[in-house]
Chains A and B, each alone.
Chain A
């Protein structure tokens, strides 16, 4: 067998498959077990799957995970495009600095960021104090913290760098002459964006979208510590079932259902994005 470049990926591919399939196989096996007096008993029981099928709470939370992932993806894409395009216009020396600044939030731990958000958005926090001081409001805006708004804001903020980086890399590869040609032929800037830049950056958008979707749909800490009473997530429920409830079969079934749902949604997203004309043009080029 002749050695090809693609063979270099084999060891990593094998590791990923093993690291992914082994735990999944364990989850599948556990989902058919029974629990008695805090003992897991190997069995072929459909109890957990039955419980899952009839639980509106579980499916509501899975739906919420999908919604949260899709919403965060859309928000980060809308905000990320202008930032990524602006990055391509910077001088090479400034680009490095800009990327470091862009990633700054990621250097602090998640818990630190969460408590910082509380200080910024709280009833006696920075934003409310400022607005009260300016006389724009009479009472602190309570919805800023511990609400679905907070979850959306923080997930968007946390994931924005991943979207920007992915789009930026794609945007850097767009041949400037194509944009200039479009403008020379009378395209307005907005047309040049939608008909030249956007199609050619869809691979970056796809990569960013899939990353952001995966990271935000499975997020548990931010909703639970900043989402207030609306912070329930499927992930936290899985955690609760594995730990407090010691119901490993149901936890496994729920985890598998969540995984399958997110996988399907992510596949649909990838399919849609990569079917776009520009993506085919770029990827087909390789």
Chain B
């Protein structure tokens, strides 16, 4: 005898679908199976206007559930407290952690036709694959983490070594984050880009010395990007390893610019993924959403409003040269200089070094 069990999630889904049906009438009936999906993502990736076209085309509403941190997302999946998330947002450099923990569903890539337009560097990445060779996440949005600096004070474009230059004592800032800060110090002391995340214990010791020597030069370690924007706006900091946010927020108010160091540009990339617990009836909609994230509508609105590029080349040639430059796709050779911050095997050693530097 087959038992019929209706769990809380299905129950709620059913109720919501029922409500959708009665409200939408005939139109809703076509998509009655899934009236809503919940997308756990960053607030910058998921403005309501970014998903409007998807909602119109499919009749499925996208409910946005904003993340506070990558760690919180992982913990929520791991502890099962994220039961209402239908689509999640692991970063490319952390995807393996989710895959290893069995939190993601293997993906059928034939259901995402827009993958054909994806830039090769993202297509080729192994970081979204499990040990079984299957793909578990799809990179969809990316950007660069430049050095944001005051162009009126730094007449030469800064490099990572500028962040260790006593000439700018008291005006510099680093992010309070082991992974990127240690890698930057590694590049500064001459460790090549392809090894910046694969440091030996001896190299870590050298990096630690450089970071401790850097401390008196720093105004502070920044905690959040709003924090850094404030530091630059108030004149406390004139150059910092950053995200692009302070540049966009301040470019009309003061002379700020972005530097993309030749030693290696830290990239970030967010992925689409489906939690392994997603109910069967929602899977098709989730795939449609993946295809949407790689399609033209999402790419156009997020380029226009958020100044971010998707991993798809689908609209690149239709953008103005200025817009292409703004979202770093005017010169595609930039992709050859990418460094993806990646948690190293000896990550706990990295964190220990970073905590020692901060307490020194």
Q: Tell me the A residues contacting B by CB distance below 8 Å.
A: 37-39, 55, 57, 60-61, 64, 115, 118-119, 122-125, 142, 145-146, 224-225, 227-229, 231-232, 237, 240-241, 243-247
Contacts and interface: CB of A to CB of B under 8 A. Distances in A.
B101 A228 contact: no
Interface in B131-190: 170, 176, 178
Contact of B236 (A64, A122, A241): A122
Contact of B101 (A38, A231, A241): A38
Given A60-B359, A119-B234, A146-B236, 4 more contacts: A39-B101, A228-B221, A229-B218, A245-B351
Number of chain B interface residues as a range: 20 to 34
Contacts of B356: 57
Contact of A247 (B97, B230, B236, B348): B348
Interface of B: 69, 71-72, 74-75, 78, 97, 100-101, 170, 176, 178, 215-216, 218-221, 223, 227, 230, 234-236, 347-348, 351-352, 355-356, 358-359
* Closest CB pairs A-B (n = 10): A243-B71, A232-B358, A228-B220, A124-B235, A57-B359, A232-B359, A146-B220, A245-B351, A229-B215, A57-B356
Contacts of A228: 218-221
B110 to A, nearest CB: 30
A236 to B, nearest CB: 8
A123 B359 contact: no
Contact of B234 (A61, A122, A241): A122
Nearest to A244: B71
Given A38-B100, A115-B230, A225-B227, A146 B219 contact: yes
A244 B170 contact: no
Contact of A57 (B176, B230, B355): B355
Contacts, number: 72
Contacts of B219: 146, 228
A142 B71 contact: no
Contacts of B170: 142
Contacts of A229: 215-216, 218, 220-221, 358
Contacts of B69: 243
Contacts of B78: 38
B130 to A, nearest CB: 13
Contact of A118 (B97, B176, B234): B234
Contacts of A124: 234-235
A244 to B, nearest CB: 6
24 contacts: A37-B100, A37-B101, A38-B74, A38-B101, A55-B352, A60-B359, A61-B359, A118-B234, A122-B234, A125-B234, A228-B219, A228-B220, A229-B216, A229-B221, A229-B358, A231-B220, A232-B359, A240-B351, A241-B351, A243-B69, A243-B71, A243-B72, A243-B75, A245-B348
Identify which of B69, B71, B75, B101 gathers the most chain A CB atoms within 10 Å of its CB: B71
B221 A231 contact: yes
A117 to B, nearest CB: 12
A234 to B, nearest CB: 9
A276 B69 CA distance: 49
A122 B236 CA distance: 7
B176 A123 contact: no
Contacts of A247: 348
Nearest to B217: A229
A195 B102 CA distance: 69
B128 to A, nearest CB: 17
A115 B234 CA distance: 11
A158 B355 CA distance: 27
Given A243-B69, A244-B71, A224 B176 contact: yes
A95 to B, nearest CB: 38
Identify which of A55, A115, A224, A246 gathers the most chain B CB atoms within 10 Å of its CB: A246
A123 B356 CA distance: 28
Contacts of A245: 347-348, 351
B72 to A, nearest CB: 7
Contacts of A246: 71, 74
B349 to A, nearest CB: 11
A232 B355 contact: yes
Contacts of A224: 176, 223
B297 to A, nearest CB: 35
Nearest to A237: B355
A2 B207 CA distance: 70
B20 to A, nearest CB: 37
A200 B218 CA distance: 48
Nearest to B351: A245
A239 B230 CA distance: 24
A229 to B, nearest CB: 5
Contacts of B359: 57, 60-61, 64, 232
Nearest to B177: A244
Nearest to A124: B235
Contacts of B97: 38
A84 to B, nearest CB: 35
B295 to A, nearest CB: 33
A16 to B, nearest CB: 26
